[in-house]
């Protein structure tokens, strides 16, 4: 066996013997023996040893995810499983759980991922369904981490395919599960292979400035270390540089160069504190740091008093260090640091988990999180929400200011809590960097920014979802102000109209109008006029005594004088004469009833479209007469011998005879004066119904055509459509 592989396993043994129960050590050694027996020094085409790959995946499972013996054994054996008849042999030798995990891995590996970037959430759900045991997903993430670390040995096409899969599928899964180190490294490696130029540029600049940063950190931490040591604290201090991907994204979003990125690294103070003393110890260290260096209070973050909804706990202080440079200092305990880095796995550990039953509880919890239908990755993990009080929540402004709201408060409640004007103009916002609507309910620890627009005004339905009294009172007040503004505008409109009509307008007139529209206040009347709900002409109808008005007088009140002069009143002022040539653009045939020459007709004066000509039998006529009787004018056709085409709609039904459509078309085509625009026939259970759109010269011509259609064999009914 290759000595390098033996050395790798020896290092792995030193790692797992301290975290895996001793009773499971022989099974892990047995799994290693089987892998060596199966593959020996065999390598893939890329030149990588299969056994070395298996050891590295198992090491990630132990060190960076924190899973138990069964998953470690499956990690060592996941390539053995693909050999013939391996499933039953492995189950007998290592147990059903290990075999089940390996079967899940095999299923996932059959997935085609060509369109993963378009349907990543669906792929995530499919992976979970195929995997069965959640440990399969965690093992697959570990496997992908190892593959990404050795991607240099693959061809360019393979590198691109695998890195795309990783960025859209495996990195978000790692983030959702709280595997923050893994997520960060995966995203760095994805950038390296998908966009090598910016990756290399940032990596080179980090390397070039490494000595400078190390020198600065040493100078910065020296006085802090001395004070902490003198006061008896047990601690570690280290500088954590931002990941390459994070630096690059910040350069892109803020449109700055590398040297202008303010928080390239943070100084982390990790305390070895007893659980009962954690908070007080952290605050004492915070006091020591801010005594030594000037702090920026606007950049202070207290995630200890109220942890983030994903369980993150830490004190952040931004201080002015040597050479006038701002530095972020993160103060936390060993427990807090593990939870910050390993998320859910550390939560299980610090809840006192020991043995398989606790591990199963944790894995069940992971499945619940993975199956959550929400698309966001980790913002709200219900099992780890840190609600201080059931009836209160604490949220933060973009500057980090803490605000207390009642439980159930929405983004709009927060906007009104900031300022009444902000609430009135709120159109949405962001919660933890994600766009949300006004109705979005807030959770403990949310960081919120509000978007406003000058055109926005409070809406009545806002009162349906806000919960704070401040928001409700302000919305009501703003709505009243809006009503007053509209009412003033409506009053001006109505008084101007009344003056033009030369109608007396007094208290008695107002009472008469209010009674008619069943309103209580004059303000309500003016408001409805302003928003167009009440037409001033309707008010005129109420105030003016009923008297006969000729068609010409009616038109003269609505249309400009020059337009009235174009109309034909040759039959007297009481009738508008309609030329069947329809050359006059002041009136149009109404499409709701399609009048044709010979129909009894009337005119209806509209506000913006001139005069519409309707059939007397128009289905809309009763409603129009009831609402706007003063807009009706009598009309008649001009008696002329000229032929003009009018559109008519004919309904036809009967039994579904052979070639019925052809017979109908034949009858229409034989009539030289008829033009057919469309024919639509539907047949069902031996019967048919149809609609014909035709152009005819007038009513007599239409009647003649309908009689012809009735004579077709199989036609039962022919009628004109309204």
Residues 518 and 425 in one domain: no
Task: Check which CATH number belongs to the domain holding 74 and give it.
Answer: 1.10.3210.10
pLDDT digits (tens, 9 = 90+) for 629-668: 777 888 888 776 666 778 889 999 988 877 888 888 888 8
Q: Which residue has the higher pLDDT, 284 or 389?
A: 284
pLDDT for 191 equals 93
For the chain, what is the mean pLDDT?
A: 81
pLDDT for 391 equals 61
Is it the case that residue 229 has pLDDT exceeding 90?
yes
Residue 211 lies in a domain: yes
Task: Check which CATH number belongs to the domain holding 652 and give it.
Answer: 3.30.70.260
pLDDT digits (tens, 9 = 90+) for 362-406: 455 555 544 443 323 233 222 322 322 336 677 778 876 667 788
Provide the token pair at 528: 């409805």
Angstrom distances, CA of residue 16 to CA of 61, 66, 483 = 10, 10, 72
Residues 285 and 415 in one domain: no
Residues 530 and 559 in one domain: no
Residue 369 lies in a domain: no
Half-sphere exposure in the Cβ direction for 597 (13 Å, CA): 20
Residues 175 and 209 in one domain: no
Of 441, 467, 493, the position where a domain reaches its end is 467
Instruction: Band the pLDDT of 474: cuts 50, 70, 90.
Output: confident
Residue 234 lies in a domain: yes
Do residues 458 and 404 make contact, with C-beta atoms less than 8 angstroms apart?
no
pLDDT digits (tens, 9 = 90+) for 498-554: 888 788 888 888 888 888 888 888 888 888 888 888 888 888 878 776 555 566 666
Do residues 720 and 615 make contact, with C-beta atoms less than 8 angstroms apart?
no
Angstrom distances, CA of residue 131 to CA of 105, 345, 611 = 7, 19, 71
Q: Which residue has the higher pLDDT, 593 or 3?
A: 593
- Phi, psi (degrees; rounded to nearest 5) at 438: -60, -35
Host domain of residue 437: 392-467
pLDDT digits (tens, 9 = 90+) for 122-177: 566 556 655 666 788 888 999 999 999 999 888 888 899 899 888 888 888 887 77
Residue 77 lies in a domain: yes
Residues 517 and 496 in one domain: yes
Half-sphere exposure in the Cβ direction for 531 (13 Å, CA): 12
Of 408, 441, 467, the position where a domain reaches its end is 467
pLDDT for 381 equals 28
Residues 455 and 403 in one domain: yes
- Phi, psi (degrees; rounded to nearest 5) at 605: -85, 120
Helix axes 156-165, 134-149, angle to 10 degrees: 140
Do residues 140 and 105 make contact, with C-beta atoms less than 8 angstroms apart?
yes
Residues 143 and 81 in one domain: yes
Do residues 443 and 393 make contact, with C-beta atoms less than 8 angstroms apart?
yes
Instruction: Indicate the DSSP class of residue 545.
Output: P
Task: Check which CATH number belongs to the domain holding 292 and give it.
Answer: 3.30.460.10
Instruction: Band the pLDDT of 84: cuts 50, 70, 90.
Output: low
Residue 604 lies in a domain: yes
pLDDT for 383 equals 30
Give the contacts of 588 (CB within 8 A, at least 6 positions apart): 609, 610, 611, 612, 613
Residue 472 lies in a domain: no
Residues 60 and 27 in one domain: yes
- What's the whole-number mean pLDDT along residues 95-104? 87
- What's the whole-number mean pLDDT along residues 422-450? 90
Of 437, 467, 497, the position where a domain reaches its end is 467
Q: State how many domains the chain has.
A: 6
Separation between Cα atoms, residue 539 and residue 503, nearest integer Å: 11
pLDDT digits (tens, 9 = 90+) for 324-369: 888 899 999 998 888 777 665 555 555 544 444 444 554 555 555 4
Task: Check which CATH number belongs to the domain holding 455 and give it.
Answer: 3.10.20.30
pLDDT digits (tens, 9 = 90+) for 456-471: 989 888 988 999 888 8
Residues 179 and 323 in one domain: no
Residue 365 lies in a domain: no
pLDDT digits (tens, 9 = 90+) for 293-310: 998 888 888 988 887 755
pLDDT for 354 equals 42
Instruction: Band the pLDDT of 199: cuts 50, 70, 90.
Output: very high
Residues 632 and 650 in one domain: no
Instruction: Band the pLDDT of 238: cuts 50, 70, 90.
Output: confident
Residues 312 and 267 in one domain: yes
Distance of CA 512 to the CA centre of its chain: 51
Residue 423 lies in a domain: yes
Residues 428 and 575 in one domain: no
pLDDT for 404 equals 77
């Amino acid at each position: 066996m290759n000595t390098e592989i033996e050395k790798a396993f020896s290092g792995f043994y030193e790692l797992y013997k301290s975290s895996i129960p001793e009773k499971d050590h022989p099974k892990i050694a047995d799994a290693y023996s089987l892998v060596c027996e199966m593959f020996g020094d065999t390598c893939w085409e890329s030149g990588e040893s299969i056994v070395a790959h298996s050891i590295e995946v198992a090491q990630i499972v132990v060190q960076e995810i924190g899973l138990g013996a069964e998953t470690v054994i499956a990690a060592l054996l996941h390539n053995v499983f693909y050999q013939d008849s391996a499933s039953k042999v492995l189950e007998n030798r290592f147990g059903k759980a290990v075999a089940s995990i390996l079967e899940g891995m095999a299923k996932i590996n059959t997935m085609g991922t060509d369109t993963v970037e378009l349907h990543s959430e669906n792929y995530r759900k499919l992976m979970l369904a195929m995997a069965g045991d959640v440990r399969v997903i965690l093992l697959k993430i570990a496997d992908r981490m190892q593959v990404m670390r050795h991607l240099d040995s693959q061809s360019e096409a393979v590198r691109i395919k695998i890195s795309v899969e990783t960025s859209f599928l495996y990195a978000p899964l790692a983030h959702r599960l709280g595997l923050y180190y893994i997520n960060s490294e995966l995203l760095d490696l994805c950038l390296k292979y998908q966009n090598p130029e910016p990756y290399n540029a940032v990596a080179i600049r980090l390397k070039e400035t490494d000595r400078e940063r190390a020198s600065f950190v040493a100078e910065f931490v020296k006085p802090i270390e001395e004070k902490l040591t003198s006061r008896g604290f047990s601690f570690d201090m280290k500088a954590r540089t931002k990941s390459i991907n994070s630096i690059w994204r910040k350069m892109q979003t803020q449109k700055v160069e590398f040297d202008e990125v303010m928080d390239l690294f943070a100084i982390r103070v990790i305390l070895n504190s007893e659980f009962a003393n954690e908070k007080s110890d952290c605050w004492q260290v915070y006091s020591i740091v801010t005594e030594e260096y000037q702090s920026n209070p606007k950049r202070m973050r207290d995630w200890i008093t109220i942890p983030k909804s994903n369980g993150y706990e830490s004190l952040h202080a931004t201080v002015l260090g040597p050479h006038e440079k701002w530095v972020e200092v993160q103060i936390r305990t060993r427990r807090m640091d593990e939870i910050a880095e390993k998320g859910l796995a550390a939560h299980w550990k610090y809840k006192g988990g020991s043995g398989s039953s606790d591990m199963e509880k944790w894995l069940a919890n992971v499945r619940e999180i993975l199956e959550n239908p929400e698309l966001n990755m980790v913002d709200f993990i219900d099992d780890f929400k840190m609600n201080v009080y059931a009836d209160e929540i604490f949220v933060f402004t973009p500057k980090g200011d803490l605000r207390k709201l009642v439980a159930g408060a929405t983004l709009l409640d927060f906007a009104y809590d900031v300022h009444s004007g902000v609430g009135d103009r709120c159109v949405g916002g962001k919660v933890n960097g994600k766009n949300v609507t006004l109705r979005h309910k807030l959770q403990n620890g949310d960081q919120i920014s509000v978007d406003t627009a000058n055109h926005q005004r409070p809406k009545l339905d806002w009162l349906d979802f806000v919960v704070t009294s401040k928001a409700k009172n302000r919305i009501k007040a703003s709505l009243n102000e809006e009503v007053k503004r509209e009412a003033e505008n409506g009053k001006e409109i109505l008084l101007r109209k009344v003056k033009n009509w030369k109608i007396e307008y007094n208290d008695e007139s107002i009472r008469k109008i209010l009674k008619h529209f069943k309103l209580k206040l004059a303000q309500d009347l003016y408001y409805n006029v302003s928003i167009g709900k009440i037409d001033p002409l309707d008010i005129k109808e109420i105030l003016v005594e009923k008297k006969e008005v000729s068609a010409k007088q009616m038109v003269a009140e609505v249309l400009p004088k020059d337009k009235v002069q174009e109309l034909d009143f040759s039959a007297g002022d009481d009738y508008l004469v309609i030329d069947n040539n329809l050359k006059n653009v002041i009136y149009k045939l109404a499409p709701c009833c399609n009048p044709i020459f010979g129909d009894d007709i009337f005119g209806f004066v509209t506000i913006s479209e001139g005069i519409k000509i309707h059939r007397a039998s128009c289905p809309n006529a009763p409603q129009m007469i009831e609402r706007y009787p003063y807009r009706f004018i009598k009309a008649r056709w001009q008696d002329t011998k000229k032929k003009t085409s009018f559109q008519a709609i004919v309904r036809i039904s009967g039994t579904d005879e052979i070639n019925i459509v052809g017979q109908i078309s034949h009858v229409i085509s034989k009539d030289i004066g008829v033009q057919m625009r469309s024919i639509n026939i539907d047949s069902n259970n031996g019967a048919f119904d149809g609609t014909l759109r035709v152009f005819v010269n007038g009513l007599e011509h239409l009647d003649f055509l309908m009689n012809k259609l009735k004579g077709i064999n199989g036609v039962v009914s022919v009628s004109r459509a309204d």
